[in-house]
Structure 1
Amino acid sequence: MSTAVLSRREFTAAGLLLVTGVALGACGGTADTGGTSGTLRIGQFWPPVSLDPAKAGGESLLYLSPAYEPLIYRAPDGGYQPWLAASWRYLGTGNMSFEISLRDGVVFSDGSPLDAEALKASIGHFRQTAGQAAAFLAPIAAIDVTGPLTVRLTMSEPHPRLPALFTQDFLAGNVIGPGGVSHPDQLATQTFGTGPYQLVPEDTVANDHYTYASNPRYWNVRDRHYEKITIKVLPNENTALATLKTGQVDVIAGSYAIADGAKAAGMRIASSPAIVLGIQLNDRDGVLSPPLKDVRVRQALNFAIDRAKITKALLGDYGIPTEQCAAPGEDGYNDTNFYRHDPGKARQLLADAGLPNGFTLPVVIPSTPAYSADIVQAIAAELEQAGVSLKITTRDPATANTELTKFPASIMGWGALPVYFMGRGLWLHDAIGMNPFHSTDPELEQLDRQAAAADDEARPELDRRIIRRVVELGWFLPVCLSPVFLFHQNTVAIDSVAGKPFPSIVSWHPTA
């Protein structure tokens, strides 16, 4: 996510955003729980949508990761490592069958064993619950227990990104114990995972602060770095920074708006270029705004934007200008640009489309955070030079995304994910959430089917072709990649890798 994120209910990032909370008491001291060190105190923008992993999204990752562990661990360098899954593999060709073999000897915090039946029940709970992960699990047609610790998943259609889905980034791999699955109402106030910590309900106040104590049954005690973790909800960035400066917390999440202040205060900064900012041109069939039906118009808007200038003005040295939704170094990224800043070409394309005098384009944005207005106002200034006027309507963040079918364009602010996932959230005909008019393109749909069934050698080129096709269609008006930031005291080490998503909170550790 979560961070330079727009709304906690957006498709954003889903799982790339790690942002965190506050507590009482200081770090320090040594507990007799595997050499752990005091309390890790974190500050986070917003409370979790739910403590049930199956109902949650990227905004809840930080609240879930202390208590729930993934089947597969996505390491800081982007590689995949065994965790609750001892091994995994696709069977046959075409990405239609997937086998998971579990680590032996692991138990949930309530003492029940992690076995194949527990995993089957957990995946079933995710599939039946209307959370972020459910859509990505939809292709699973059958879950079969083939041994005490082995589960086989059979697909109704190719699914090439199950290893990614079962990492900590996408929640579905966070196995929920039978006690939680059989009593789902309790998942809102208790945790039922195998993680190093468990929620302390009596020391937790929903929407304010959350406390996690050591799980006495944890299987990997030597890699648990703290005795306790606390997360405090700090919705105001400036307040969060002041709390960090005064030593009341060890780590906070934030945006570029407080980056300079954190740096000046001597805080350590970790960043990851994860959030694509710009405008979505949702009405690609011209239902509300007839000009948008013409690809020349959508391309004209892209040629009109000086991405480098806007990025420098808003993000300084922290942002990366971009015309695409893939991040450099990640799958799907194209090294050559399709658009350049050319207002003359933009005006010519508009004239060719029968709009020599331009047109007015309504766009809806959330009232907060402030940079939503900043990025749209900057785009508006660029489009004016090509004769296009933005009519900006502001809505409460909680409702902005519920009105996407009432406006031809909206704010764009979501995480750069694997191409397979972005297709299902953003541009395929039946994409969830962010394709409100159900736009479709035969070439794009065909490329997606080919990439879904392809092996790891053939898929990268197909992913690049998918991203390039999205750019050529002009369905979006991306401007820049904004980093996700973590600001922290020098007593905490966050072993991040430049350009990669942040490591899991449970890998953060005291500075040596």
Structure 2
Amino acid sequence: MSSAAVLSRRDFAFGGLLLAAGLAAGACGAPGSEPATGRTLRIGQYWPPTSLDPAKAGGESQLFLQPAYDPLIYRAPDGSYQPRLATAWRYLGTGNTAFEITLRDGVTFSDGSPLSADGLKASIEHFRRSAGQAAAFLAPIATMTTQGRLNLRLTLNQPHPLLPSLFTQDFLAGDVISPAAVAAPAELATRTFGAGPYVLLPGETVANDHYTYGPNPKYWNAAGRFYDKITVKVLPNENTALAALKTSQVDVVAGSYTIAGGAKAAGFKVASSPAIVMGLQLNDRAGTLCAPLADVRVRQALNFAVDRVRITSALLGEYGVPVDQPSAPGEDGYSEQPFYDHDPGKARRLLAEAGHAAGFELPVVIPSTPAFPGDMAQAIASDLQRIGVTLRITTKEPAAANTALTQFPASSMGWGVLPAYFMGRGLWLRDAIGMNPFHSSDPELESLDQRAAAADDRARPALDRQLVRRVVELGWFLPVCLSPGLLFYRDTVGVDPVPGKPFPSVAAWHPAG
């Protein structure tokens, strides 16, 4: 649910749009009618979980994991960090290469195992050896040393400035797993072994259809549990999801702007959160497959050619924000001053200077999913055609589109909004996970990243802005708009979103009032 989900092509293909279908649509009812009996929260979700093992799960699994796994640190709706399984944390010295965590005493996992520094060490090691999405962000950890029963010290082989963020519910690495389960992990994929307020009920769960959670009797903070039961229904069609909301079969669905009007007209509450930067990735920066892309002037020309305001308004209406950068308002790397205005004349001049006044053909691969609507690609293609560049679009099934990145000079762009440090490791540094298929590198960009990673909280925001600015100047990407994650919910549920911030953990949702 969080816009700060971990990095994968599937997550980027709208980690924020966790939509719905599968429930039979019945006669429409008024919002708020037929409330759930007892204290049950019923949620509609687009993707089924890839796994219930937090170390192997993707961002689409967060809704299924947040009820059962308390994080070390809780990211509150206002963005502040609060104690959860950890009561204290701090960097040691300067340079962000040593970190210490103090755990809460008296915590027991749902399987009866006690929380301890040794157990936390085992959980982190499980994440690292599972090679899941969080493993890359844990890679800088060189050693882990217990300092008594409840204290763990991490020594890093390179600076990591965002360990507190990594250990929140926004990143799966914050989900501490029972040491007994880590020692015998066969059941981790289908059951839960956390220290959260709920536990999965296998007898009331059907994989890939619905997942049911009941109270964890060993939870350390029973006053922080607001429901007797949570059900998450897998619903892979958003129109059916809206119908399910109207007929009181679910209380909350996560969806896209395409059903926002219908949800609002039906009287449901609508919450939005910055979630996805959409556009194109110009992956072939050396011109291996498309020679013109080797010239920065060409990449910049493509950016100047696109009318972001028009496209955003046409596709997303009031819910979209035009952006020319891989960041969002509120993030440290975001710059209020745009670099690329809509200027087709300048785009043509840059192409002419680069020796491509007659234009060229640019092949691009996009996934066949509502996550990246074909209308977006067609709108970009229309603008590029006006400067003589023909966008040749190939559509593939999402997994096939991912594996074809080295066969096309450009591809779709759909990134979860993250701090610059995390985006660098997932998107633009030389060894970025998956999203830099040709391993492009820029010395200035790498240097800025290293300086920002070692900087303290006061100096890092300015360096992050320089870093993102450099990414924009290089023209490696063609961002168009920021698409929000949206929640539609009945007035019986208290979600408590904060405008411009990621959604609160589902474990924090509560009965209204």
Please indicate, yes or no, whether the TM-score normalized by the shorter chain is above 0.5.
Answer: yes
Structure 2 residue identity aligned to 1:10: R
Query: Structure 1 CA distance, aligned partners of 2:445 and 2:3?
Result: 31
Shift of the alpha carbon at 1:8? Answer: 7.0
RMSD over aligned CA atoms reads: 2.1
1:12 aligns with 2:3: no
Residue type of the alignment partner of 1:436: P
Query: Does the 8 Å CA contact 1:105/1:114 hold for their aligned counterparts?
Result: yes
Q: How do residues 245-394 of structure 1 correspond to structure 2 at under 5 angstroms?
A: 245-369=246-370, 371-394=372-395
Cα distance per residue 1:154-181 (max 9 Å; x no partner): 0010000000000000110100001210
Deviation, 1:448, is 0.3
What residue identity is the alignment partner of 1:12? Answer: F
| Residue 233 (structure 2) aligns with | 232
Q: CA distance change for structure 1 residues 248 and 230 in 2, over 3 Å: closer, same or farther?
A: same
CA contact (8 A) 2:306 2:384 kept: yes
* Matched-pair identity in %: 69
Q: What is the identity, as a one-letter code, of the residue corresponding to 1:369?
A: P
User: Per-residue deviation at 1:358?
Assistant: 0.5
**Aligned AA (2:12):** T
Read off the aligned partner of 2:250 and give its amino acid letter: V
The equivalent residue for 1:70 is: 71
Q: Closer, same or farther in 2 for the Cα pair 1:13/1:192, shift >3 Å?
A: farther
Taking structure 1 as reference, are residues 260 and 303 closer, same or farther at Cα in structure 2, changes over 3 Å only? same
Q: Give CA deviations for 1:270-328 in whole Å, capped at 9, x if unaligned.
A: 10122100000000111111110000000000000110000000011110000011110
CA offsets 1:226-267 (integer angstroms, 9 cap, x no match): 001000000001111111111100000101111001111111
Deviation at residue 269 of structure 1 after TM alignment: 0.4
Contact persistence 1:22–1:43 (CA under 8 A): no
Say if 1:144 and 1:23 are closer, same or farther in 2 by CA, change over 3 A.
farther
Shift of 1:79: 0.7
The unaligned stretches of length 5 or more in structure 2 are: 25-33
Tell me the SS of whatever aligns to 2:261: helix
Whichever residue aligns with residue 392 of structure 1, its letter is I
Query: Structure 1 residues 200-209 or 498-507, which shifts more?
Result: 200-209
Distance in 2, Cα, partners of 1:279 & 1:498: 27
Could you say if the C-alpha distance between residues 273 and 447 of structure 1 is closer, same or farther in structure 2, counting changes exceeding 3 Å? Answer: same
Query: 1:326 is aligned with what amino acid?
Result: S
CA 1:366–1:248: 2 relative to 1, 3 Å: same
Question: How far apart are 1:9 and its partner, in Å?
Answer: 4.2
SS in 1 for 2:379: helix
Match of 2:31 in 1: none
Q: CA deviation at 1:112?
A: 1.1
Flag the 1:15–1:396 CA change in 2: closer, same or farther, 3 A: closer
TM-score, reference length from structure 2? 0.95
In 1, Cα distance between equivalents of 2:240 and 2:291? 45
How big is the shift at 1:17? Answer: 7.4
Q: Distance in 2 between matches of 1:172 and 1:287?
A: 37
Deviations 1:380-432 (A, max 9, x none): 01111111110000000122111100000000001110110000000000001
- Kindly provide the amino acid, as one letter, of the partner of residue 108 in structure 1: F
Name the SS for the 1:481 alignment partner: strand
2:160 is the alignment partner of 1:159: yes
Q: Could you tell me which residue of structure 1 aligns to residue 504 of structure 2?
A: 503
2:27 aligned residue: none
Q: Is the 8 A contact 2:17 2:486 kept in 1?
A: no
Whichever residue aligns with residue 421 of structure 1, its letter is F
Say if 1:340 and 1:426 are closer, same or farther in 2 by CA, change over 3 A.
Answer: same
SS in 1 for 2:146: strand
What is aligned with 2:456?
455
Instruction: Summarize the Cα distance change of 1:257–1:29 in structure 2 as closer, same or farther, 3 Å threshold.
Output: closer
Deviation at 1:2, TM superposition (A): 6.8
Q: 1:71 to 1:2 in 2, by over 3 A?
A: closer
Residue type at the aligned position of 2:472: V
1:66–1:196 Cα contact (<8 Å) kept: yes
Partner-residue secondary structure (3-state), 2:328:
coil
Partner of 2:219: 218
Q: Name the stretch that deviates more: 7-16 or 488-497.
A: 7-16
Q: Cα distance, 1:20 vs. partner? A: 8.2
Q: Distance in 2 between matches of 1:291 and 1:352?
A: 12
Give the partner amino acid of 1:96: T
C-alpha contact 1:27 1:39 (8 A) present in aligned 2: no
Q: Distance in 2 between matches of 1:118 and 1:3?
A: 29
Larger displacement relative to structure 2 (63-72 or 176-185): 176-185
How big is the shift at 1:359? 0.5
Where 1:317 maps in the other structure, the secondary structure is helix
1:182 offset after TM fit, Å? 1.0
Corresponding residue of 1:34: none
Q: CA deviation at 1:183?
A: 1.5
State the alpha-carbon separation in 1 of the partners of residues 341 and 76 from structure 2: 36
Give the residue type in structure 2 aligned to 1:272.
S
Is the 1:323–1:477 contact (alpha carbons within 8 Å) kept by the matching residues of 2? yes
Count of aligned pairs: 504
